[in-house]
Amino acid sequence: MSAFTAQLAAVLRLHRAALIVWTVFVAGCVGYLVWLTEVTAPALREPLAGALGLDYLEYSSPMGWVSTFMYYGFWAVAAWSAAALVGRELESGTARLAWTQGVTPVRWLATKLAAPALVLLAGGAVFVPVYRWAWSAHREMMGDDWTFADVFAARGPLVVAYALCALAVGTLTALLVRRALPASAIAVAVMIVLNRYVEKYREDYWPPTTGTPHGAPVMRVDSASYHPQSHYWPLHLVETGIILTATTLATAAAFLLLGPARRTVPARTPRQESPA
């Protein structure tokens, strides 16, 4: 086993509680989507459903909450990466101790980022295909459409890109602030602002169509132009590229900050007990 692989495994062991929470969260969302699609939706189509007081909200509302929780899960990723992943080790001096024991700062940060990034990618690779299938299965029972912010992200790689960006932003913030709780709050705030700004200009990421829309829901630009559903992938992939660019810049900045951080993070030493 290489040194990098060993350190990667060590990071996963150290943060196994967060790994378990994320795994349970993704597995729960996926399992619930399957249940809603294969059990709840068919039950609502039964002739006695109305007599039993069942309505489509028992299907469409939970489906909406699943996509919302997954989409805005980047808040939790930003807070965790800023506080637990990096901030706590900088604040306690654990990082400085590792740097004096043969682990270079670059390798330390690389393993810190690689382990959760792999977990986030794996979770997205499972969730996105299942969500796409579930969202398309019973469209006539749903109250949303492809233009909803959470649906727009959860149907493709954008939802994973936001999580990776939150990981990078949280790490960069921790290196700048070097205090776990303040870094966590700042990282979440930065991600919220970035998300709102990118969403605000979403309609501008691809040339719109002019004329009168027919049929499927559209994303309105103004009274004469709009984005039909066929523009979903161009819009989605451009926004994904924007978020991944921000991820790359935040990651590069974090590595550039390793030199100053190494010089300024104090090493904690065990307290000396005074004689009785």
- Digit-coded pLDDT (tens) for 99-126: 777 778 888 888 889 889 999 999 999 9
Entry pTM: 0.87
* Rounded Cα distance, 269 and 265, in Å: 13
Position 256, amino acid = L
Closest CA to 112 of 247, 7, 6: 7
Q: Which of 27-31, 44-48, 257-261 has the highest mean pLDDT?
A: 27-31
The pLDDT score that the predictor gives to residue 84 is: 87
Q: How sure is the predictor about 176, in pLDDT bands with cuts at 50, 70 and 90?
A: very high
The pLDDT score that the predictor gives to residue 269 is: 45
Higher pLDDT, 268 or 31: 31
pLDDT over 50 (residue 274):
no
pLDDT over 70 (residue 230):
yes
The pLDDT score that the predictor gives to residue 260 is: 62
Compute CA 81 distance to the chain's CA centroid, rounded to the nearest angstrom. Answer: 11
Q: Is the dihedral of CA 140, 144, 145, 151 positive or negative?
A: negative
Q: Average pLDDT of the chain?
A: 86
The pLDDT score that the predictor gives to residue 151 is: 95
pLDDT over 50 (residue 272):
no
Query: Could you tell me the maximum CA-CA distance found in the chain, to the nearest angstrom?
Result: 87
Compute CA 275 distance to the chain's CA centroid, rounded to the nearest angstrom. Answer: 52
